[in-house]
Amino acid sequence: MQDRCAYWQQILRLQDWTITVEIKRDRDMETSRNGGEIVTLPKHRRAWIYLLDPTDIRPEALPENDMEKILIHELLHIYTEPFGLPDDGPKNTVEEQMINALAEALLKLDRR
Protein backbone atom coordinates (compact mmCIF):
# COMPACT_ATOMS: atom_id res chain seq x y z
CA MET A 1 0.00 0.00 0.00
CA GLN A 2 2.95 2.32 0.47
CA ASP A 3 3.61 2.17 -3.30
CA ARG A 4 -0.06 2.96 -4.04
CA CYS A 5 0.16 5.84 -1.59
CA ALA A 6 3.11 7.33 -3.50
CA TYR A 7 1.14 6.91 -6.74
CA TRP A 8 -1.91 8.71 -5.32
CA GLN A 9 0.25 11.39 -3.71
CA GLN A 10 1.39 12.36 -7.21
CA ILE A 11 -2.14 12.42 -8.59
CA LEU A 12 -3.45 14.43 -5.62
CA ARG A 13 -0.39 16.71 -5.58
CA LEU A 14 0.70 15.64 -2.14
CA GLN A 15 4.25 14.63 -3.09
CA ASP A 16 5.66 17.18 -0.65
CA TRP A 17 4.14 15.21 2.24
CA THR A 18 5.89 12.32 3.98
CA ILE A 19 3.18 9.72 4.46
CA THR A 20 3.57 6.37 6.15
CA VAL A 21 0.94 3.68 5.58
CA GLU A 22 0.46 0.92 8.14
CA ILE A 23 -1.94 -2.00 8.38
CA LYS A 24 -3.47 -2.27 11.84
CA ARG A 25 -5.70 -4.74 13.58
CA ASP A 26 -9.14 -3.51 14.62
CA ARG A 27 -8.20 -3.59 18.31
CA ASP A 28 -5.36 -1.13 17.58
CA MET A 29 -7.46 1.37 15.63
CA GLU A 30 -8.69 4.54 17.30
CA THR A 31 -12.25 3.88 16.10
CA SER A 32 -13.44 0.29 16.02
CA ARG A 33 -14.58 -1.07 12.64
CA ASN A 34 -13.24 1.95 10.83
CA GLY A 35 -11.62 1.06 7.51
CA GLY A 36 -8.94 3.68 7.87
CA GLU A 37 -7.62 6.54 9.95
CA ILE A 38 -5.21 9.39 9.39
CA VAL A 39 -3.05 11.41 11.75
CA THR A 40 -1.49 14.54 10.33
CA LEU A 41 1.11 17.11 11.29
CA PRO A 42 0.29 19.80 8.69
CA LYS A 43 3.13 22.17 9.69
CA HIS A 44 5.60 19.37 9.00
CA ARG A 45 3.71 17.96 6.01
CA ARG A 46 3.75 14.56 7.70
CA ALA A 47 0.96 11.99 7.97
CA TRP A 48 0.33 8.42 9.07
CA ILE A 49 -2.46 6.43 7.46
CA TYR A 50 -3.69 3.33 9.23
CA LEU A 51 -5.68 0.79 7.21
CA LEU A 52 -7.74 -1.98 8.76
CA ASP A 53 -6.14 -5.41 8.51
CA PRO A 54 -8.19 -7.54 6.06
CA THR A 55 -8.37 -10.21 8.77
CA ASP A 56 -10.74 -7.92 10.71
CA ILE A 57 -13.07 -7.02 7.83
CA ARG A 58 -16.52 -8.56 8.14
CA PRO A 59 -17.40 -10.58 4.98
CA GLU A 60 -20.56 -8.51 4.37
CA ALA A 61 -18.47 -5.33 4.38
CA LEU A 62 -15.90 -6.49 1.82
CA PRO A 63 -17.18 -4.46 -1.16
CA GLU A 64 -17.06 -1.34 1.01
CA ASN A 65 -13.56 -2.07 2.27
CA ASP A 66 -11.43 -1.68 -0.83
CA MET A 67 -8.10 -0.77 0.78
CA GLU A 68 -7.06 1.46 -2.09
CA LYS A 69 -10.34 3.40 -1.93
CA ILE A 70 -9.86 3.84 1.81
CA LEU A 71 -6.28 4.99 1.20
CA ILE A 72 -7.49 7.65 -1.25
CA HIS A 73 -10.23 8.66 1.21
CA GLU A 74 -7.67 9.21 3.96
CA LEU A 75 -5.36 11.15 1.64
CA LEU A 76 -8.23 13.49 0.74
CA HIS A 77 -8.64 14.26 4.44
CA ILE A 78 -5.32 16.10 4.26
CA TYR A 79 -7.13 18.77 2.26
CA THR A 80 -10.19 18.98 4.51
CA GLU A 81 -8.53 18.79 7.93
CA PRO A 82 -7.78 22.54 8.13
CA PHE A 83 -11.54 23.16 8.24
CA GLY A 84 -11.57 21.51 11.68
CA LEU A 85 -15.10 20.12 11.43
CA PRO A 86 -16.42 18.36 14.55
CA ASP A 87 -16.43 14.57 14.27
CA ASP A 88 -20.10 14.20 15.09
CA GLY A 89 -21.92 17.04 13.35
CA PRO A 90 -23.87 17.31 10.11
CA LYS A 91 -21.00 19.17 8.42
CA ASN A 92 -18.75 16.19 9.12
CA THR A 93 -21.33 13.86 7.59
CA VAL A 94 -21.36 15.96 4.41
CA GLU A 95 -17.55 16.05 4.39
CA GLU A 96 -17.39 12.24 4.66
CA GLN A 97 -19.98 11.81 1.89
CA MET A 98 -18.03 14.17 -0.38
CA ILE A 99 -14.72 12.43 0.31
CA ASN A 100 -16.30 9.01 -0.26
CA ALA A 101 -17.75 10.13 -3.60
CA LEU A 102 -14.43 11.62 -4.74
CA ALA A 103 -12.41 8.59 -3.64
CA GLU A 104 -14.76 6.22 -5.44
CA ALA A 105 -14.79 8.35 -8.61
CA LEU A 106 -10.98 8.66 -8.68
CA LEU A 107 -10.53 4.93 -8.19
CA LYS A 108 -13.05 4.07 -10.93
CA LEU A 109 -11.32 6.41 -13.37
CA ASP A 110 -7.93 4.94 -12.50
CA ARG A 111 -9.11 1.35 -12.94
CA ARG A 112 -10.59 1.89 -16.40
pLDDT tens by residue, 67-94 = 999 999 999 999 998 777 666 778 878 8
Q: Which of 75, 76, 54, 74 is nearest to 65 (CA)?
A: 54
Residue span of the structural domain in which 17 resides: 2-110
CATH number (domain holding residue 42): 3.30.2010
Q: Which of 27, 23, 30, 29 is nearest to 4 (CA)?
A: 23
pTM of the model: 0.88
Distances (CA, A) of 5 to 9, 12, 47, 72, 75: 6, 10, 11, 8, 8
Q: Is the pLDDT of residue 63 over 90?
A: no
State phi, psi for 110 to the nearest 5 degrees.
-65, -35
Q: Residue 59: what pLDDT?
A: 67
Q: Is the pLDDT of residue 19 over 60?
A: yes
| pLDDT more than 70, % of the chain | 89
Tell me the per-residue pLDDT of 21-52, one tens digit each, with 9 for 90 and over: 999 998 888 876 678 999 999 999 999 999 99
- The number of distinct structural domains making up the chain is 1
Q: Which residues lie closer than 8 Å to 101 by C-beta, 6 or more apart?
A: none
